[in-house]
Amino acid sequence: MRYFFAAVVLILAPLTAHAAAIEKLRAFIAATHSAQADFTQDVLDQNGKRIQSAAGVMQFQRPGKFRWTYQKPYEQIIVGDGHKFWLYDKDLNQVTVKSLDAALGSSPAALLAGSNEIEKGFSLRESGTREGLEWLEAKPRSQDSSFSSVYMGFNDKANLVVMELDDAFGHKTVLRFSGMQMNPKLSARQFEFSPPEGADVVGE
């Protein structure tokens, strides 16, 4: 089964190395309006065994616009255009569409590509240090979220480089970012999507 994560991105936060993780996240949300990075994504089962890997490029522009292009193992595109959420599977030639609010809710995408009101949708707490990173935990306030907890790890240069997402099935999704560009000028076309001719469209 293919495992999709429609969410967003990890960004460099230009802060001091001694700032707390929650402070870094708040500053990132306030200062970062757009971003682009390469990413890898691993899904682990309840025993920590890797059951799926993927890689690609992500871009976002706040509020509510993002594009994740999965290049391997399958070609997939996930787009948030500010109003609707689109997921295109090239192999299946299928497009899933729904309202952006319904797709995001209290999801990780709302943390990074959403509005400035982080703590409206999430409760935040410091989560100590691990693997040389300083961590925070974000727990969605809504019961409708696909994830029970989201962890964010900052390095000693105050860069947010890892996200870990725990879901209701005991799986953990680990996202790592590289080549991050902060506040690049992104074309509006990057956040537009039209179903390819002949594609099966499911949803709204």
- Evaluate whether residue 165 is within a structural domain: yes
- Evaluate whether residue 101 is within a structural domain: yes
Query: What digits encode the pLDDT tens for the residues 134-190?
Result: 899 988 887 777 788 899 988 766 677 899 999 888 999 999 988 888 899 999 999
Give the C-alpha separation, 192 to 97, whole Å: 13
Q: Whole-prediction pTM value?
A: 0.81
- Evaluate whether residue 204 is within a structural domain: no
Q: What is the CATH number of the domain that holds 76?
A: 2.50.20.10
- Evaluate whether residue 16 is within a structural domain: no
Domain around 62: 21-182
Higher pLDDT, 125 or 113: 125
The number of residues in the chain equals 204
- Evaluate whether residue 190 is within a structural domain: no
Q: What sign has the CA pseudo-torsion 82, 120, 127, 44?
A: negative
Count up the domains in the chain and report the number: 1
